[in-house]
Amino acid sequence: MELFEIKAEIPVFAADETDNVLLELGVEGWSLLEDAIAKRAWIVGVFTSAEEADTRWEELRPMLPAEPLSEPERRALGDRDWKDSYKAHFKAWKFGRLHWVPIWEREAYALPAGEVAIWLDPGLAFGTGNHETTRLCIERLIALEGKSAKSMARVIDAGCGSGILALSAAKLGYGNVEAFDNDPEAVRVSEENAAMNGAAGAVKFFTGDLVSGLAGRQAEIVLANIQADVLMRFAKELIGAVAPGGALILSGILAHENEQVRAAFVAAAPGWTVEARTMGEWSDVLLVRPV
């Protein structure tokens, strides 16, 4: 399938606010690229036709916090071009004994003895771990390690993106991991990433939303890295998926939204313990259900 890229430079001072707009609005197909050394930034969209690229740009432009510095450039994008462009903003990182590394660095990456790597090719799905929202979830997941019998504990990753959270849970030794996304492309990429890590079958990936994906399921750890308004709208479903004594990890929440999200979940889950953290402009909420 041929893809088309549309790219426009934006003022670097507007990069963070532009990124927030894309995430808050759930605008699909767009990403933000920054060159910290040159102090330049671009908004980039990838779509299945030239007509769609132009239409989506006209829809997005009025939402941008600052006027672009130039008219956008559009070009046909081969598979190799897309994958090469993605390398510019996916960098290896680690927390604890886990490393998250782009697949194209596999041969050269030096992995310390006793530590574990997750090799990722994000493709068109969100979730490289480079974003604060993903890091907040993973740090919570690692902090919970050892507080339950991992081989027996169940994990649900609601809105799995490229599968990074679910695969992290599997690599940590959790023996019953399920993950879903309402985008079939995200599920396909997640399964590819599992196969690249020798973990095919270690996670059950499937297509579903926050109603169908959680129906009839409970887990000791439920992860949801989704924008704040969606989390609050489906608070009942998310809370209902947490087993007694289990934890609900919420992310995708801007720092200024945290109080509102906490209030919504405290009201929906009275008696649960609640805490929150902030990382840059982003935050998380951890809720633990009484036994």
Query: Which residues make up each annotated binding site for S-adenosyl-L-methionine?
Result: 134, 159, 181, 225
| H or E stretch at 178 | strand 176-181
Which residue ranges are tagged as binding site?
134, 159, 181, 225
Q: Which two tokens stand for residue 263?
A: 């209030």
| Whole-number Å distance between alpha carbons of 210 and 55 | 29
| Nearest to 281, CA basis, from 107, 9, 21 | 21
At 147, list the tokens.
């507080």
Distance CA 180, CA 187 (A): 7
Q: Are strands 30-35 and 3-10 parallel, antiparallel or unpaired?
A: unpaired
Give me Rg for the CA atoms of the chain.
19
H or E element that contains 179: strand 176-181
Alpha-carbon distance 155 to 198, whole Å? 19
Q: In what order do the strands lie in the sheet with 73-77?
A: 30-35, 40-47, 3-10, 73-77
